[in-house]
Amino acid sequence: MKAVRFDRYGGIEVLQVADVPMPEPSHGEALVKVKAASINPGEAKIREGLLHDMWPATFPSGEGSDLAGMVTKVGPGVESFTVGDEVIGFTDRRASHAEYVVVEAQNLTIKPAKVPWEVAGSLAIAGSTAYASVRAVSLKRGDIVAVSGAAGGVGSIAVQLATRAGAEVIGIASPANHQWLAAHGVKPESYGADLADRLREARIDAFIDTHGGGYVKLAVELGVPRGRIQTIIDFGAVREYGVKAEGSNAARNASVLAELAALIASGDLEVPIAATFPLNQVRAAFSLLGQGHIRGKIVLLP
């Protein structure tokens, strides 16, 4: 089968699509034929060696966590899934950017028929991170929450979940994304030197930072309680200010995936798809991701 591999840290030039042995599911696992697997900023940082202290790569390394596909084989002890089931899931083995992947059955949930493959394959990391972020700031009806990077992979989901929680949501994003945000019940705000004044006037109660670059410091300066400031990226600010940094691990499980998938199937949640690429164009996919200002997710279709 084909799978993405890299054998040293570096830019997109180290990515290769290689022929590798077909994996076999063992106890509690299922073999899934991958129909869609999104790419994530964290995967690029791991491949570049920027997260070596936290998540070192073992070479040759695969990559990819999100996935959606069809069960083709189950290992001993798997009773909740059968061959032919369409599933959404994730792997912690950096392996979903491939034609097939072995997944722990506990990390899978059935894909609703109304959820498109490319959306299903984008849900695990961004969806669970957004879910954890909204939960971290304890939103209640009538709260005003600002979200930076509001149209990105995590931000675009977080603003919708925050709105569903009853909050008034201010989405900080480039003007090209304002119409999309407004259509989802979010008040768009542009980046800019006077952003602090605009947010101060709004009297925000909570802040979710998916962008980095000083937004935690800004939220602290605006008087937002530190227990209601959440960042997924600015870990230096977490150490400095003691704010929250709930990541996907805090909510990445089959139950949350099923909940998010049900919202998508009912039309109550949208995961915007910026672009799709075949597996052999993985370099192009990460090149696009690196350009920034992407609305939603970029997806590989093996």
pLDDT in tens, 68-79: 999 999 999 999
DSSP string, the chain: -EEEEBSSS-SGGG-EEEE-PPP---TTEEEEEEEEEE--HHHHHHHHTTTTTTS---SSB----EEEEEEEEE-TT--S--TT-EEEEE-SSS--SBSEEEEEGGGEEEPPTTS-HHHHTTSHHHHHHHHHHHHHTT--TT-EEEEETTTSTTHHHHHHHHHHTT-EEEEE--GGGHHHHHHTT-EEE--STTHHHHHHHHT-SEEEESS-SSHHHHHHHTT--GGGEEESS-HHHHHHH--B---GGGT-SHHHHHHHHHHHHTTS----EEEEEEGGGHHHHHHHHHT----SEEEEE-
Asked whether the predicted pLDDT for residue 53 surpasses 90, the reply is no
Asked whether the predicted pLDDT for residue 292 surpasses 90, the reply is no
Asked whether the predicted pLDDT for residue 55 surpasses 90, the reply is no
Average pLDDT for 93-119: 98
Average pLDDT for 249-277: 96
How many other CB atoms sit within 10 Å of the CB of residue 195? 16
Pairing outcome for strands 66-74 and 86-90: antiparallel
Q: What is the pLDDT of residue 17?
A: 98
Output the average pLDDT for the chain.
96
Global confidence as pTM: 0.96
Average pLDDT for 262-271: 98
Q: What is the pLDDT of residue 250?
A: 87
Asked whether the predicted pLDDT for residue 54 surpasses 90, the reply is no
Asked whether the predicted pLDDT for residue 272 surpasses 90, the reply is yes
Average pLDDT for 167-176: 96
Tell me the percentage of the chain whose pLDDT exceeds 90: 93
- How does pLDDT run across 15-35, given as a tens digit for each residue? 999 999 999 999 999 999 999
216: buried, middle or exposed (CB in 10 Å: 19+, 13-18, 0-12)?
A: buried
Average pLDDT for 235-256: 94
State the pLDDT confidence band at 293, using cuts at 50, 70 and 90. Answer: confident
Asked whether the predicted pLDDT for residue 192 surpasses 90, the reply is no
Asked whether the predicted pLDDT for residue 267 surpasses 90, the reply is yes
State the pLDDT confidence band at 294, using cuts at 50, 70 and 90. Answer: confident
